[in-house]
Structure 1
């Protein structure tokens, strides 16, 4: 078995990944088992460059705020036309445009810098694009729906017969109230503090639903009056407004289903954004394994086990063979207390038998080698690393194994 596994391992490259697949997917997803490690992001960057230069991919989508990501996309695409190198703005754009605190990452800055340089002098339809596909939220809380809802209303008001609009901008402003009441961090631990089920929030959900429906009904008008880009942007604001209001609704819930519903709403928002991006061309998506896998995702929060369908599982039901998922597994993260994996785990088997550089494996061949006697699922001593479940090999299209993860400088 050792020889077989070693013989199936290949160097990681875009071409090698695509050779594992029957067809080039519209959405190629690469998962990571832990956040905040630049060496994994460097590997991501190298794969994306190869996908762009050799395979015609033109969009990268990260687990980051979909609205904040618009600033990064504007920065990387404007380099082809504004005649400046933009070096003085890079740090500010990345820190503002990539959420979850990852805007300070050197690897993320390198990605954005490369994208802008690649776009220099290229026509608009050949430029690489940046997108965040997460909602404006984290498990600990969510943004106010103000930005998305008022942007949606404004785009409709600029082109649609005013008599068709179900409310005015002033009405939305009154119902939204202060942003602080939506973003109060104490809500995560005290649902009673949430405004997500207030009379105003209920009315906002009805108005958001009506505005989103009106956008669909008036899409030909907006397309003729503006552009496909502007119509797609309006749809992004509609999805985000609806999703945020639903998220806040469940933030106010006091039932045992609260956390599961919050996780489900978030991943459904992710899935909707990924599907919209895939409609405009092949996309390379990067996120945590748990958001991209086809299997049900699990985690513990407050001691309770939670299960929900991930964005990858939802997208896969729509795109089928046009969705591909490549997982990443690790041997050690010693700076986080994750030492060599036990030999009876999948990571332990790979750690003992594969060479040090990152290796790409075919999970289906690996599963065939293992047979029915699957290795034990590894237990991580650090909450920030999620080991790979060996039972998921059959629904994974590629597996990248990184033996030892160096500490990010």
Structure 2
């Protein structure tokens, strides 16, 4: 990627977006992480961006942000505790954290770059206990306001054992979930009251520390989102899996909107989460459709949301060979450069075939929707 690459992306947009989303068709490929890192560096150095947010646990991301802003801690520990989905093991993510720490060294806090996760504390097979988020919001408010918050011990008793919430069997068996028990219902009411107090006391809390208030709101969003997600894990209706996907992306969207309120940011995650059109996935023998985080954020921000999808030519170690020439990926593969960016509108009106992947972990671009992106970044070989 050349030093003019970020400028090329910006030329495709009507103006500098508050949120520039870079999608990827698969996770963990070094070439895609290098592309992301290069783009973020250029956005910081030439376009005034100061935040990157990735599809990783929003609470774990606080560990990474603390390290890149202060330097406190050990990099190996940060990579282990600061990323979900095992993504701390990827060299591209380690390189990103190292660069951010080096960039921030000696800079005043307002000029520093920041890191955030925008996913919930969720894995494909399980979701976290609400205990950490409850304790954080309750503790924050109890130390600052006198509003009859109730006892933290009551919350702990209602939550019970964390293993009840994190049991992976609940993903496919609603009877294994505690998300719709009477205690879970009481927890949702208590969470609603805590969030109401947090909102009511905004003037005082912001005056004390906006950064602490922002962090408390992150925990509050996570708390209500987790309890909603667990509720749908316990549901037995036919729309259960769709509701789970929608709940997760709704959490993502809320985090992205909160991040952009602080300044322009680059978001990096799967194309399916960040695209403007409906997300689709086959799961549990059904074809699911829901509005993803990118579609929700785009509806809020309009032209202040930019989306660049990423396409790949080959992922040979995964069995993904040279694309057919009549696919989007095939047309990009025929270009002379190893990686670059093109205007997505060049594919509007063309007869383009759909590419089919032999590997479940890679999702080719949908030719019917490709021109809904602002641009397409491509990597010839992964």
What TM-score does the superposition give when structure 2 sets the normalisation length?
Answer: 0.97
| Aligned residues of 1:139 and 1:262 also touching (Cα < 8 A) | no
2:185 and 2:209 map into 1 onto residues whose CA distance is 32
1:218 and 1:154 map into 2 onto residues whose CA distance is 15
TM-aligned CA deviation for residue 12 of structure 1: 7.1
1:203 and 1:12 map into 2 onto residues whose CA distance is 54
Q: Residue in 1 aligned with 2:55?
A: 63
1:34 aligned to which of 1, 26, 29? 26
TM-aligned CA deviation for residue 302 of structure 1: 2.4
> 5+ residue gaps in structure 2?
none
1:179 aligned to which of 138, 145, 162? 162
Q: Residue in 2 aligned with 1:358?
A: 339
Runs of 4+ in 1 over 3 A off after TM superposition: none
TM-aligned CA deviation for residue 139 of structure 1: 2.5
1:328 and 1:11 map into 2 onto residues whose CA distance is 19
| Aligned residues of 2:339 and 2:380 also touching (Cα < 8 A) | yes
1:383 and 1:161 map into 2 onto residues whose CA distance is 52
Q: Residue in 1 aligned with 2:347?
A: 367
Q: Deviations over 1:262-314 (max 9, x none)?
A: 00000000000000000000000000000000000111012211111110000
Q: What is the number of equivalent residue pairs in this alignment?
A: 381
Could you say if the C-alpha distance between residues 11 and 162 of structure 1 is closer, same or farther in structure 2, counting changes exceeding 3 Å?
A: closer
Pairs within 5 Å for 1:270-289: 270-289=252-271
What TM-score does the superposition give when structure 1 sets the normalisation length?
Answer: 0.91
Pairs within 5 Å for 1:4-403: 13-79=5-71, 89-163=74-148, 165=149, 167-224=150-207, 226-351=208-333, 353-364=334-345, 366-368=346-348, 371=349, 373-403=350-380
TM-aligned CA deviation for residue 68 of structure 1: 0.5
| Aligned residues of 2:50 and 2:263 also touching (Cα < 8 A) | yes
Range 122-131 or range 302-311, more displaced: 302-311
1:360 and 1:11 map into 2 onto residues whose CA distance is 13
> 5+ residue gaps in structure 1?
1-9
Report the aligned-residue RMSD: 1.3
1:162 and 1:96 map into 2 onto residues whose CA distance is 34
TM-aligned CA deviation for residue 354 of structure 1: 0.6
TM-aligned CA deviation for residue 38 of structure 1: 1.3
